[in-house]
Structure 1
């Protein structure tokens, strides 16, 4: 059964904005539950708390943890990657505690590549910044090590193809899936940045998709960022990601395919934003209520 979740990033709460004056989790957990969401993503590690604190928060609002972003330097040297593995262990303790709240729908730790300065300067990718064979061997070997840690904790990993990283374009996603056994977090917005088509991508990789991030996008904004090589912060600040139905995503085709294929996992609505003082008060939660209402056509 598909669970519908939202994410702190829809409220501007994510790693890029760490250090900002984040609201308390309760200020969004309650409204999201009232809007009809079943779960939430982790956000910055520690924001939802740990141990009994995250359990109490989730139970109070009848929510489950759906997943959570954890990027790692999969192509870095052994020392850098080893340090990241230690950080993963810290995050996994939070995932394991949260999993006790709803053992029938376990969260998926969401691994991603950290990329590099060259990739961050080239959103959309290009042959000049692709990994060579040695790079792919290192990445796939390190992904296997991270996946082993996740599975040892009793959970199943998923991997997020992400703009400005070494797994971004359709070609790179194909190579990644060929060289690993980890499921794919399918992100409609990031696939468009990487030059892919979400409907085609869903059909192409459906058998490996175990997590879904649903984003609507303004394609022209994304295309301009790619042309300017402006980076991901520009994507968020220029509000390329918009409420469902307000952008260019073929939402009906994607959701019809998701339902027809019997997808059984978490669907996470994400509307990544960097908050601005000019944003109307309450806009974020109003957007997420509207997003949930639109999805009732497919998932009541």
Structure 2
């Protein structure tokens, strides 16, 4: 299993007005200083869209490209071409995986209209269309259950697994917030785990989001996400299960953060270093 980082741990998010956005050089240098091998792309427009320019920037910091997260309205067929174009650019820059989330079409992740049965079937069909288009470029597509999207709750994850053959991005934080046990899910569906976002969260704030008492963005600002080992996800149990099941993909460290102007620039580095220390404590795994 290979360990990578993601710009969201440095507060870089696709949601308008999320928080302070650090420049790419600061974020990538922070990852490199920790010995991370690679990064995910971050939101559209944050890193260069030109594959050659992106490769050159990552090379400067000794990082490879894992792939990228893309939240698109999968229940609308017009987004298939958009996702396919992103897959083409990721593959040209050396990426391996396109991480899809079934966006609602609204800004942010605090509101979520319900889908009709026909819209759900369109979501499943379009996910397959994106998968096939991405595969033409040698890229794998996975579906990321995510708070505030149309595949969020435990029952929706189960429904997607039943209706689609797309692998999952096992995001330990978003699954727990949605009411699923990520370890139990990995145990039941070992052959459906195509990618992993490794997070830790506070169960009390996760429950408040799930119950609608706290908005997702507000919970992030209250530090719902914490370094690995400081929250309520069974990180060790999950990683050991993945290893026993032969998972050989990426573990992408993510600690969703919203930075303010008063936050220290090196705070994300310190938090990610703590996560790495926790992870290597029971894996004994070198980072590069």
Question: Scaled by the length of structure 1, what TM-score is found?
Answer: 0.86
Question: Is residue 97 from structure 1 mapped to residue 92 from structure 2 by the alignment?
Answer: yes
Partners of 1:75 and 1:135 within 8 A in 2: yes
Question: Is residue 110 from structure 1 mapped to residue 105 from structure 2 by the alignment?
Answer: no
Deviations 1:178-212 (A, max 9, x none): 22221110011111111111221111222101100
Partners of 2:39 and 2:64 within 8 A in 1: yes
Superposition pairs of residues 52-131 of structure 1, within 5 angstroms:
52-76=52-76, 81-82=77-78, 84-99=79-94, 106-115=95-104, 131=115
Indicate the larger mover: 277-286 or 261-270.
277-286
Q: Show the counterpart of 2:22.
A: 23
Aligned length, in residue pairs: 282
Q: Show the counterpart of 1:102.
A: none
Q: Show the counterpart of 1:103.
A: none
SS at match of 1:14: coil
Please provide the CA RMSD for this pair. Answer: 2.3
Distance 1:22 1:279 in 2: 11
Distance 2:153 2:223 in 1: 22
Question: Is residue 223 from structure 1 mapped to residue 207 from structure 2 by the alignment?
Answer: yes
Deviations 1:114-155 (A, max 9, x none): 1366x95568xxxxx764543331111111122122112221
Distance 1:24 1:207 in 2: 38
Deviations 1:34-79 (A, max 9, x none): 3121110100123221221111122222211112111111224xxx
Q: Alignment partner for residue 205 of structure 1, among 175, 184, 189?
A: 189
Which one has the bigger helix percentage? 1
Tell me by how many angstroms 1:20 deviates: 6.4
Unaligned runs of 5+ in 2: none
Distance 2:109 2:23 in 1: 31
Q: Show the counterpart of 2:143.
A: 159
